[in-house]
């Protein structure tokens, strides 16, 4: 809650000094702010809880938080922290000072090289989102911001979707987005591939950057939709042959033949002066929020891999009973359908074999590994593809020939964690697992 200080400044949660109002929307306001402890300048979006609940937007807000924490990339606006009071939800985000790309286009069309640079950065960000199973679904110049160095930052993931929202046909079915930028298959409501729909929107954006106006436009919405569905657009005379050819592939009304991002990245026009983004996510760069508590032990410095391993902790009778599903009381306190962050399996292998196999599996799955005694920390690889997911494991000894291994999500998105454990880690550990606790008996 923001409180007025003696000097007239407003403080939020005793940590952020609120400044001028940057913008205002239906559900809240965005303020310029400064972290009084670090001096870091941020933007804070204050969302009204009552309004969100009244219109049934709770799940959308949760999804936006989840998605923004999942897609941490130099060309995506970064979410630093989420806080909440009785009446507000606060998003503490990267402050992007260069304004909207839309404002630059509004002053006139861009030269080909400038448009290409922004388009390359846009595609880098969208490709990363897709690699994490996230589809933006509302890409447009108004949602593309510029930092002080003129680099593009994708924002506003309020309408985004994740892989888990796909129906049995493997497609998304929610009609959303901005009419002039939406793909034809979204309009027809027959189900669509989120990645292909985002590619179409990127094509519209490229056209707008270079032309200064929309490829599909008409005062009559139905007439405009008809043009979109037929892919009827005309390039202005100043477009080069290579740009025209690429736009025909991007704005192909048939999603099955529309160019994909991997194919796009091989196009010579796109590759000109293209600089692939390389970035790392360090331990102290992980997002903290009230929605996902990071274990304090994960913030401690881990010992080098060659530190002698101590004997694992022993379990007493109560520990063993509490591990059983019949004695699990957490369901009384958790919401339905919320996945538990802890997973356990038993093993009759030796401690050294279990430890070695966990380390081997983690590295095979492109995770960085840090070992401390009988604990192993798996962290998303520094190339960023695994995002901010951190999995903590600990081995407990029941008897000299029987062990329990506990895995816990220390940080990161729950959906990504569930996917990692169920689809990647379980198959990799099958040689040492006797039984997983959550397997059907």
The answer to whether the beta carbons of residues 399 and 410 sit under 8 Å apart is no
Q: Three-class SS of residue 191?
A: coil
Sign of CA dihedral 361, 384, 303, 293: negative
- Find the DSSP H helices in 132-252: 184-187, 194-211, 221-230, 241-250
> Active-site residues: which are they?
138
Helix (H) / strand (E) element for 29: namely strand 28-35
Measured distance CA(320)–CA(404) in Å, rounded: 9
Residue 100 neighbours by CB distance under 10 Å: 17
- Name the nearest CA neighbour of 25 among 47, 54, 56: 47
Contact residues for 417 (Cβ-Cβ < 8 A; gap 6+): 339, 341, 389, 391, 409
The answer to whether the beta carbons of residues 410 and 293 sit under 8 Å apart is no
Measured distance CA(400)–CA(379) in Å, rounded: 29
For 69, the token pair is 């924490």
Residue-wise DSSP of 219-255 = SSHHHHHHHHHHT-----TTS-HHHHHHHHHHT-S-T
Measured distance CA(327)–CA(325) in Å, rounded: 5
The answer to whether the beta carbons of residues 210 and 239 sit under 8 Å apart is yes
Measured distance CA(182)–CA(176) in Å, rounded: 8
């Amino acid at each position: 809650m923001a409180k007025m200080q003696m000097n007239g400044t407003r403080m939020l949660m005793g940590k952020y000094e609120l400044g001028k109002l940057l913008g205002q929307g239906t559900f809240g306001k965005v303020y310029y702010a400064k972290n009084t402890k670090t001096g870091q300048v941020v933007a804070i979006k204050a969302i009204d809880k009552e309004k969100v609940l009244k219109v049934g937007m709770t799940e959308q807000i949760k999804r936006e938080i989840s998605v923004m924490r999942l897609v941490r990339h130099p060309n995506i606006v970064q979410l630093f922290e989420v806080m909440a009071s009785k009446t507000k939800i606060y998003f503490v985000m990267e402050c992007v000072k260069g304004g909207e790309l839309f404002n630059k286009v509004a002053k006139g069309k861009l030269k080909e090289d400038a448009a290409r640079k922004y388009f390359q950065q846009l595609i880098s960000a969208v490709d990363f989102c897709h690699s994490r199973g996230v589809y933006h679904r509302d890409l447009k110049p108004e949602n593309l911001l510029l930092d002080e160095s003129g680099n593009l930052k994708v924002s506003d993931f309020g309408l985004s979707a994740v892989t888990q929202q796909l129906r049995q046909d493997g497609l998304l079915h929610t009609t959303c987005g901005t009419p002039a930028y939406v793909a034809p298959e979204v309009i027809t409501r027959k189900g669509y591939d989120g990645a292909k729909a985002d590619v179409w929107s990127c094509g519209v954006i490229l056209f707008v950057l270079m032309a200064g106006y929309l490829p599909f436009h008409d005062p009559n919405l139905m007439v405009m939709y008809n043009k979109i569905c037929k892919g009827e657009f005309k390039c202005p005379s100043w477009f080069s042959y290579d740009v025209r050819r690429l736009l025909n592939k991007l704005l192909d009304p048939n999603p099955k033949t529309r160019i994909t991002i991997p194919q796009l990245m091989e196009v010579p026009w796109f590759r000109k002066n293209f600089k692939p983004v390389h970035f790392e996510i360090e331990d102290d760069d992980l997002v903290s929020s009230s929605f996902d508590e990071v274990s304090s032990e994960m913030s401690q410095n881990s010992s080098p891999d060659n530190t002698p391993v101590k004997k694992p902790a022993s379990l007493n009778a109560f520990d063993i009973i509490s591990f059983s599903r019949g004695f699990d009381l957490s369901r009384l306190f958790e919401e339905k359908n919320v996945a538990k962050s802890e997973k356990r399996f038993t093993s009759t292998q030796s401690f050294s074999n279990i430890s070695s196999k966990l380390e081997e599996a983690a590295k095979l799955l492109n995770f960085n590994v840090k070992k401390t005694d009988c604990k192993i920390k798996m962290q998303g690889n520094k190339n960023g593809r695994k995002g901010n997911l951190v999995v903590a494991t600990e081995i407990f000894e029941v008897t000299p020939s029987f062990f329990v291994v506990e895995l816990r999500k220390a940080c990161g998105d729950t959906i990504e964690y569930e996917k990692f454990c169920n689809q990647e880690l379980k198959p990799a550990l099958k040689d040492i697992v006797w039984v997983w606790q959550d397997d059907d008996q």
